[in-house]
Chain A
Amino acid sequence: MGVNPIDIIREYLPFLASGTLFTIGFSLAGIVFGTILGLLVCFGKMLNNKVLSAPFVCYITFFRGTPLFVQILLIHFGVVPAIFGQSNGIISGIVALSLNEAAYIAEVFRAGIQSIDEGQTEAARSLGMNRLQAMRYVVLPQAVHRVLPPMGNEFISLIKDSSLLAAIAAPELTYWAQAMGAQYAITWTPYLAISFIYLILTLTMSFLVNRLERRMATK
């Protein structure tokens, strides 16, 4: 009955391969930009001045409180065309994932920093370090160690969340699975196939995070 699933997968193999590369690319971009931006947003939110910290609080509230799917559409059909004059799935994908990831990373970092005993900062400041030095040499190194596991979780979520980019025809894994499923009017073959690939990607990610954790623990 129907077409042999193996033949279909064989036919779509090059597309799944390039889709996998795009998924890895989107995820890496989201992780790198999201972490950098997240750290900045985190410091912004922790500013003592309520007026200055308000925009950062709003940022986190919006990106954590609304569906990523909607954010992707808003950025693709609203923000990116307004800036570049035309929509572009790849730019939109990177921007949407980075902005969304940053909100989560900011909260992870904030929790990590606040979990470090106040006495650590006081000891650093009493030795003459300024706020920045105390943060950089004393608080952050300890916080990074502590936030590594929750960061790993965020990264894994991000890999899976990148599948939502199929909606704006960004040519990642899920996009090709949809194309494949639609062409042959099948469901299981494409989605199980990409699930397997996502599983490999997320397993690789947790392996890397685990290794990093262990290396930091022994250090």
Chain B
Amino acid sequence: MMIKVENLKKSFGENEVLKKINLEVEKQEVVVVIGPSGSGKSTLLRCINLLETITSGHVFIEGTDIADKTANINKIRQDVGMVFQQFNLFPHMTVLDNIMLAPTKVKKVPKEQAKAKAMELLGKVGLAEKADAYPDSLSGGQKQRIAIARALAMEPKMMLFDEPTSALDPEMVGEVLDVMKQLAKDGMTMVVVTHEMGFAREVGDRVIFMDGGYIVEENEPNQLFAHPNEERTKAFLSKVL
């Protein structure tokens, strides 16, 4: 079991955005989370690597409860890669330095070794020629592919994607999804919050539909898209499909 979420609740002040969430993600599983905006799906993702504090309940990463104060969150996060909607590349560094920063500073990987790994990852996302470019000179799609390479440089055991294509122009969505598909094929454990239903259907092992802070329904993609059980799922799918 890679990720186990148990009775997770999260409130922002009076506003409870996650209401008793239970979820398990197996090794090499690709779980796609869909739902209307404000349903709590991004918050759920951010709770899994503790970018948001947990109000109550537990999140276990490979058996370690990250809500426990004694857990070494910095160590755990090295195993949990995250890709953001807004890319969040470091603008003051070249693409290469963006990718090498965490491995060299956190894992103390020797520079040469980190560089070789970074170049390999850049090749994988098809941007080897951009190694010395600064993020500002890249397109949105390129930035997101670099962000994925940056997360992969830490050799994480699982990856979280928080609406990775939502900030992109439509013609750039494909290049990012292709990288993600390849990653899934290579056996990466992934939790993906997205509005790309095609991706969910094609790559997802399981699709979770969230609404109002609850997991309303979950199933394998073909079942969920073709035969939703819940009224709210039906209503949502009728709008997006």
Q: B-contacting residues of A (Cβ < 8 Å)?
A: 117, 119-120, 122-130, 133, 137-138, 141-142, 145
Q: Cα distance A65–B147 when bound, in Å?
A: 45
- 29 CB < 8 A contacts A-B: A119-B88, A120-B90, A122-B51, A123-B82, A123-B84, A123-B88, A123-B90, A124-B102, A125-B77, A126-B49, A126-B77, A126-B151, A127-B78, A127-B101, A127-B150, A127-B151, A127-B154, A128-B75, A128-B107, A128-B154, A129-B74, A129-B102, A129-B105, A130-B74, A137-B101, A138-B101, A141-B92, A142-B91, A142-B92
Q: Cα distance A124–B151 when bound, in Å?
A: 10
Q: A119-B84, A130-B74, A138-B90 are in contact. Are A125 and B51 (CB under 8 A)?
A: yes
Q: A119-B84, A122-B84, A123-B84 are in contact. Are A128 and B90 (CB under 8 A)?
A: no
Across-interface contacts of A124 in B (CB, < 8 A): 90, 102
Interface-central residue, B80, B86, B92, B147, by most chain A CB under 10 Å? B92
Quick one: which of B75, B89, B92, B154 contacts A145, CB cutoff 8 A?
B92
3 shortest A-B CB distances, which residue pairs? A123-B88, A128-B78, A127-B102
Q: How large is the interface on B (under 10, 10 to 19, 20 to 34, 35 or more residues)?
A: 20 to 34
A123-B82, A137-B105 are known contacts; what are 14 more A-B pairs with Cβ within 8 Å?
A119-B86, A123-B90, A123-B147, A125-B74, A126-B49, A126-B82, A126-B151, A127-B102, A128-B74, A128-B78, A129-B74, A129-B105, A129-B106, A138-B101
Q: Cα distance A117–B89 when bound, in Å?
A: 11
Q: A-contacting residues of B (Cβ < 8 Å)?
A: 49, 51, 74-75, 77-78, 80-82, 84, 86, 88-92, 101-102, 105-107, 147, 150-151, 154
Across-interface contacts of B77 in A (CB, < 8 A): 125-128
Across-interface contacts of A138 in B (CB, < 8 A): 90, 101
Q: Cα distance A141–B107 when bound, in Å?
A: 21
Across-interface contacts of B106 in A (CB, < 8 A): 127-129, 133
Q: Cα distance A213–B150 when bound, in Å?
A: 29
Across-interface contacts of B91 in A (CB, < 8 A): 142
CB-based nearest A residue for B50:
A125
Question: Cβ of A126 and Cβ of B51 under 8 Å apart?
Answer: yes
Expressed in whole angstroms, the minimum distance between the Cβ of A219 and any Cβ of chain B is 9
Q: Cα distance A126–B154 when bound, in Å?
A: 10
Q: Cα distance A126–B90 when bound, in Å?
A: 13
Across-interface contacts of A130 in B (CB, < 8 A): 74
